[in-house]
Structure 1
């Protein structure tokens, strides 16, 4: 009688006795298949820690803590700060007024206007301290001051300028070895008090203010801005700032359970690949006669004869 079987798996094994080379090869192979995926995911985790990505909408509030520098065609500069009237000497101060128009239907947009009795303006530098609140960045009811610097210049003296400023959250890792320093929740220096002009009017300057802001790994910065100038000269200047924060993508540290699932999925992916390669390598070595062996079917036939 002729028996025919489909998908018959022939398992090879060595008949060498004792601690032979085939046995060492088998032990080393299993160690590679089991341990190497662990080493790989450990290295990957050091480079790119397990993180989760969320989309959140930050809230924005205006603060009186702002400093406006206006540069004139004659080369002079004047300063205005609504929160600290005597921030500069009397001869360097600008006579201005501030108007805030929050859009309560859209919590991530605000409009601020500065009307100044200054003529022939060709440029401005505006250091605005905006209050930000976002889940994971600050506490539920806490707004944190963030310095937003906007500056622009015109070729001709102007009577007004309107700027659209877009702001986003930036997350910077201190180094490759410390990627978690750029992940939410923000803590430590990332939520420390801002270098406000009202706190240190005699020490405040633009350079120190920027240093205080940029030392934070997690912070809000201006991504880009666009200014429309109106040329002219009538002894006055009006600057209108439109600040906007869009819904943004943020990165957080994964929870313990999420981290376990993340690493398990990574491990199984590498384990499956290595196990498949090792299995095919075994078949190839036995078929090439590298190891002296006989198949499982041959052993069964030999047992029946005996």
Structure 2
């Protein structure tokens, strides 16, 4: 009974990299109407578009119907009609067509929040120093820096397929005014599984905690009794969260091939689509461990791959 309590009360260190904001995308540039100067001085908006050779001086639509103008006026009319049709389609389709490639320029566009988790055997020891390096050098205040964090983290995971054991993921859709709440709930749910965030870089604020006295030391890991108590399995869990403009989905992860595809997709999100990220991993501190019992208790939704 005492040994199980010790395992349950053991501290769990975590690392965190995050940043971004949920702001509406800037609208298209606005061109002011053409102005003209009347004889009396001053400038006033022209009451209609001015085109040379346009019949009686009415809008360019009139010459199409037998009053002069010609092919040039017809082409302009078709261009304006096409623009109006596209604007109507964007308005009625909620701001994007075909998913990821089209984004509404309204103040409340669609947002996708993707979460991908990977559980690796602790033998992938090179992964933790790599994630620490990313945290210490990342520029989390710029879209380009946040996109680079996702790229580097995905690449680090792709380099260790022989250690993949567990995985899981999914995507939620929301409008911009509700997306931040969804994103924060997912991030808090993962952060609450740590006893302490021993290394973090959020919005370029780098913090490192001293884990002494809270986490087991390397010497304790060498104790055979402790290893037998906690079981032979030790793992590293990495979580990637990304909020993107438009429709974006990662595949359901049921195999190593699915996980490989999901990592490639989330690592290739362009910076101009990326609103916010969270990269979380545990354990972070040297000497800390994550056991099979921890995986079953804290990450029950993960699947074997």
TM-score by length of structure 1 reads: 0.24
Larger relative contact order, structure 1 or 2 (CA cutoff 8 Å, min sep 6):
2
TM-score by length of structure 2 reads: 0.24
Whose strand fraction is larger, Structure 1's or Structure 2's?
1
Whose helix fraction is larger, Structure 1's or Structure 2's?
2
